[in-house]
Amino acid sequence: MAHFAIALLSLIFLSSAHLSLSAIDVHDLLPLFNLPKGIIPREIKSFSFSNTDNSFTLELSSNPCYVTFDDQLVFYDRIIEGKLEYGKVSGVSGIQAKKFFIWVSVTGMEVDEENDLIEFHVGALSKKLPAADFQRVPSCKSKGLRDLSSSASI
């Protein structure tokens, strides 16, 4: 509940209808919504946030951008959009995960505090990964790891 109060106070403090948060580190904003810093990579070029509906758009400075979490290969597009809520991100676009031999779009993420996991939604399917994997902010790699890309799955 204290996290929720901090998030509310932060939103009140950032009270304009549409913000460009280039002066604020986006990775420091995520914990205010009870989300780990490492769900998005380090290479953020710009970030905008709407207080009206908590929607965001971020642009990466690196493209392509591949990141691995444990054995999961993830691709981040240059533009990523979604809606921040306490403990989850919904309406996500611009993130894909390797499922066997195909790429599938990640549509949402949700914190499972009880089990210390992050659940990734891919349409009707989901996969949970340890929250500890997302405490460190990852850096983009320009190529997916060949060995990993053929075996990773969500």
Domain coordinates in residue numbering, the chain: 2-144
Topology adopted by domain 2-144: at5g01610, DUF538 DOMAIN (2.30.240)
pLDDT per residue as tens digits for the range 122-137: 878 888 999 999 999 9
Separation in Å, CA 57 to CA 68, 138, 139: 22, 19, 19
Q: What is the pLDDT of residue 88?
A: 96
Q: What is the pLDDT of residue 145?
A: 52
Q: Which residues contact 146 (CB under 8 A, 6 or more apart)?
A: none
With 0.85 as the threshold, say if the pTM is over it: no
- Give the C-alpha separation, 99 to 113, whole Å: 25
In this prediction, the residues of the chain whose per-residue pLDDT falls under 50 are 1-22, 146-154
